[in-house]
Amino acid sequence: MKQDTIQQREQLTGWILVAPALLLLLFVFAYPIGRAFWLSFFAQNLGTKLEPVFAGFANYGRMAGDGRFWQSLWNTTVFTVSTVFLELILGMGVALVLNQSFRGRAAVRTIAILPWALPTAIMALAWTWIFNAQYGVWNDILLRLGLIKEGINWLGDPTLAMMAVIAADVWKTTPFISILLLAGLQSISSDLYEAHAIDGANPWQSFRQITLPLLMPQVLIAMLFRFAQAFGIFDLIAVMTGGGPAGATEVVSLYIYATVMRYLDFGYGAALVVVTFLLLVTAVAIASFVLSRLRAKAAGVS
Under the banding of pLDDT at 50, 70 and 90, the label for residue 207 is confident
Under the banding of pLDDT at 50, 70 and 90, the label for residue 50 is low
Higher pLDDT, 209 or 2: 209
Q: Looking at 50-54, 180-184, 229-233, 236-240, which range is the least confident one? A: 50-54
Confidence (pLDDT) at 294: 66
Return the half-sphere exposure (C-beta side, CA atoms, 13 A cut-off) of residue 158.
7
Confidence (pLDDT) at 43: 87
Is there a contact between 52 and 43 (Cβ–Cβ < 8 Å)? Answer: yes
Is there a contact between 175 and 112 (Cβ–Cβ < 8 Å)? Answer: yes
Confidence (pLDDT) at 1: 54
**What is the distance between the alpha carbons of residues 68 and 131, in angstroms, rounded to a whole number?**
26
Is there a contact between 73 and 252 (Cβ–Cβ < 8 Å)? Answer: yes
Confidence (pLDDT) at 79: 96
Under the banding of pLDDT at 50, 70 and 90, the label for residue 162 is very high
Confidence (pLDDT) at 224: 84
Confidence (pLDDT) at 81: 93
Confidence (pLDDT) at 60: 92
Confidence (pLDDT) at 185: 87
pLDDT digits (tens, 9 = 90+) for 169-195: 999 999 999 998 998 888 888 878 778
Under the banding of pLDDT at 50, 70 and 90, the label for residue 128 is very high
Confidence (pLDDT) at 74: 95
- Domains in the chain, please, with CATH? 58-301 (1.10.3720.10)
Is there a contact between 185 and 102 (Cβ–Cβ < 8 Å)? Answer: no
Indicate whether 20 pLDDT > 60: yes
